[in-house]
Amino acid sequence: MNLDKLVEAFARHAAAQTDAIWQGNAKTGNKHAKQVNATFDKLCAHGNPGRDALASLFTHPRMDVRVKAAAFLLRHRTEEAEAVLKEAAQGEGLVSFAASEALKRWEEGTWALDPG
């Protein structure tokens, strides 16, 4: 699967995970979360070009997709990812909370989504 297709899959599963959570369907949400993680692993298998491809989602129309990509790319694209997360953390709701939690874990040194 090429990088563009992997990025599309990451975005699709990230959005579907959020939608499932809003619908109260944890089982489906967890299924999509596993696909997000698996897709990220596939992108990382391509090294930095895979991570760089995922950074294209920093401008995705859905904030939840932007936040998910930024959270995964904090180590690789720190400044850009922090900017996305800080902007999202200004809002209200679950996605803003997730953004602020990712930033908090990063600042504490406990963030571990992409250990490198």
Q: What is the pLDDT of residues 63-108, one digit of tens each?
A: 999 999 999 999 999 999 999 999 999 998 889 999 999 999 999 9
As a CATH number, domain 3-108 is 1.25.40.70
- CB-based burial, 62-89: b 16+ in 10 Å, e otherwise: ebbbbbbbbbbbbebbeeebbebbeebb
- How confident is the model at residue 112, as a pLDDT? 76
Rounded Cα gap, residues 67 and 109, in angstroms: 19
pLDDT tens readout for residues 50-65 = 999 999 999 999 999 9
24-44 pLDDT per residue, tens: 999 999 999 999 999 999 999
- Say if pTM beats, i.e. exceeds, 0.85: yes
